[in-house]
Structure 1
C-alpha cells in the first residue's frame, strides 16, 4: 500500500501562539505516529510564495494522513494555528 504524505508550508505571524499550536499538533500526532521526512532545514524557494517552515510527514497511507488531519485533536490544534500562521497543507499519495 502506498504511503501518505502530509506536506505543510507555513508562514508564522506570531511565534508565541505558533508554539502553542506546535505542541497541540504534536500531541494530536501521538496516536498516528507519522515519520518526519523533512522539517524546516536548509531550503531554497525557487518559485511561488516563500514560507518560514516546511515539513513533510509520512503516514502509513493516504487515508491515515487524512484521518490525522481531520481528527478532533488536530482540528483543535489547527484552530490555534489560525491566529498564529498561514500556510498551505497538502496530502499526497506516494507512488508505491
Structure 2
C-alpha cells in the first residue's frame, strides 16, 4: 500500500502562539506515528514563499487524512488561526 504524505508550508506571524499550535498538533499526531522526512533548510525556487516547510510520512493516504480530520488535530488547527498562514496538502506516495 502506498504511503501518505502530509506536506505543510507555513508563514508565522506570532511565534509564541504558534508554539502552542505546534505542541497540540504534535500531540494529535502521536497516535498516527508519522515519520518526519523533511523539515530543514530550503530554497524557494518558484511560487509563493513560506518560512517553514514540513513533510510527514504516514502509513497510508487514509491515515494522513484521518489525522488531519481528527477532532484532536482540528482543535490544534484552531490555535493556528490568526497566528500563521499556509498551505497543507495530502499526497499519495508512488508504490
TM-score normalized by structure 2? 0.98
User: 1:17·1:84 contact (CA, 8 Å) conserved in 2?
Assistant: yes
Structure 2 segments unaligned to the other structure (5+ residues): none
Q: Structure 1: which 4+ aligned runs deviate by more than 2 Å?
A: none
Structure with more of its chain in helix, by fraction = 2
**C-alpha separation in 1, matches of 2:83 and 2:20:** 9
User: 1:4·1:94 contact (CA, 8 Å) conserved in 2?
Assistant: yes
Deviations along 1:69-94, whole A, 9 cap, x unmatched? 00001000000011210000000000
Structure 1 segments unaligned to the other structure (5+ residues): none
**C-alpha separation in 2, matches of 1:95 and 1:5:** 11
TM-score normalized by structure 1? 0.97
How many correspondences in the alignment? Answer: 95
